[in-house]
Amino acid sequence: MECLMDHIVLNVEDMEKMLGFYTGVLELLPERLELYRAGEVPFPSVRLNPETVIDLFPKMRKVPCPDTEAGCGELNHFCITLEQKAWVALLERLQRSGTPIEEGPVARWGAGGSGISVYFRDPEHNRIEARYYDSGEEPKRCLLGT
């Protein structure tokens, strides 16, 4: 399977300090910062390249973990992007392997705009988002999540 890294999500305690580091020290461009500060979106992002962003989630929005805390630190989740056909094949493999889908399919915002995502965990409980972008339609407005 071939895919691209779409985004990673960091749980952030001090948003202004993190924004200062990523936009000032690393000189990454902010995305949706004005919307975040206006309370219109739940988090801002910084862009690594045309295909990849880092989402900065307020720490209070921690993803619940299963029975163990493994894989539930500062990395909230990471997202891979696939073509729609490969995404459907991945869902079939997840089902065959007994890997539960925790959430989705659901429309979420990412590096390429709005896409369709599912969330699942690896054997050490790291949360993974797998997404495809439907380039044939206008991006949908997403109010929550990535």
**CATH number for the domain including 70?**
3.10.180.10
Q: How much of the chain exceeds pLDDT 90, in percent?
A: 43
Enclosing domain of residue 127: 4-132
CA distance 85 to 100: 20
pLDDT (tens digit per residue) in 3-58: 888 999 888 888 998 898 888 877 889 999 999 999 999 999 999 888 899 898 98
Q: Is 18 exposed, middle or buried (0-12, 13-18, 19+ CB in 10 A)?
A: middle
Number of domains in the chain: 1
Residue 140 confidence class, pLDDT cut points 50, 70, 90: very low
Judged by DSSP in three states, 5 sits in: strand
Query: Is 140 within a domain?
Result: no
Domain contains 17: yes
